[in-house]
Structure 1
């Protein structure tokens, strides 16, 4: 037998393999189960971004590690950090309802899955996408754009909606049975819940609240950070966006005010050398960070007034505020800011 014939025979006997983009939510869980049921070997790729961490309780992160273990499949985690922020600064395909760059984001995910597919000699990619479930990225046009621009035409199978989409290479080659695929579309979860019951999923997770970047209030903070940063925000800047009340004091300075003790501790953990930390000296109140450059005495006084505004300090007299500047403790006596003045600065 020639080497070429031997290789062909080996390929013929090879178990088909798929790479799943696994979020840990119900849809991707079901998609993997449908493919495992076809006798396909499956490995998973999970994507983490600065806006979505596993089990964070926000955005699209779910119990992805636990789900992979329950499915009995290998899991590779890919983290997008600075490259994601650069894409977010100016996404090729624009934003959705907030600061969500859905099409560009999916392209990054597809490329990560493609890289793992090629590395592991897998045959195709599967996702839990449902046609028309997400307005920007899960329609026929968007799905075509994403596949075309990532070089994955015919290589992405969406088991839940497969019957509403053109046959993929895996279906044409008989690796999976198209008649066993789903015909789900739209935002209703009725059919997914029925599938979950069939697969014995005892407590299917609730529908995700959506990407954190679609949240209107959070989107305003992200937009403000992008507009007032020469290059891109740091990961530390992004983590700070997730806590506290935010105030734009000048084009280069912002103040973040903790809302409770837990947030105060997070803010303390995020303090950088150039930050000024403010707290009411004699009253219970928030931990605050003044971040930016070229802090003037006027801006520092304004920040101190806002810190007192959210403390237990009397609102009609001056009180002292502790400042930590470059490791040195200082004090400043100011009157608390008024409600209208404070609200006008809030992001």
Structure 2
């Protein structure tokens, strides 16, 4: 009879390094996020519990494995079969698992781990389970290879139960969403900004998105692409992602009419920071996230980035600052935002041919003095 898993073992990483009080809080948030993600996919489970550095989801639904692996804060998951913590029960189950997965002439290894107080060691578990497997499938000419086995059987023994499994599905690690407060992320629908937002989600931040709509200097295709990127990021969030849309086209018109065109990108970025800053205050968030990567485009220079944040007294985070484009694309492909972000769409049609690469604070301040920035911001937020 085919053996079927009845539990999913969930492992986490740096949560275990926290103080006991913080660890308890983070574990509860992680369990809550797991339950929400399972619920969103209508996965049946009878319970979720924690025990000695592990979280256990009691379910026979195979979908629970991949869903749980996408919960940020999870390092890895394994579908497992439960038995008692008696050594004879463990060896019996390990032998049955070996019979099911090991083929003719293959090598195998037993990887044993135990927690709690037992009369046997991890070495005892590995040796006796290995002997039981060979006895069960000896006619297949199988043998033990601890260095590079064809198949691995994992055994975890806790105080009252033991778990046998053969598969370890990697998660993304990080911290559970909701443990590090709320952030506002500027998103444009390109490759970079969705990755920047995801990286902060991975560090435990709840994200509120702000999309600055540049129509008539872009069209609906850019908006659609942005919303598809947010939809891809939704797959990583246990809560519905909130999105604000701000009409930025009138602001661009004012910059074009009254300012030097080479300063357009810096002025636009400063206006987007103001918009995001107001939403940050409204949402009770703790900072703004951008997709800027140092030197990636002409306007993303260190001097420009310093000028862009002049006079702002809230934190602005650039998670991609030290990554090159290839590294960013690799992450985008892994998290599912790459395909929507390369969908053909309009870009801003008023980007100058020769943007300022070393914009001076004095020049930008002078340009903004010719504008009623406060009124422009108010009109944008009222839209």
Q: TM-score range by the shorter chain?
A: 0.3 to 0.5
Bigger relative contact order, structure 1 or 2, given CA contacts below 8 A and separation 6+?
Answer: 2
TM-score with structure 1 length normalisation? 0.44
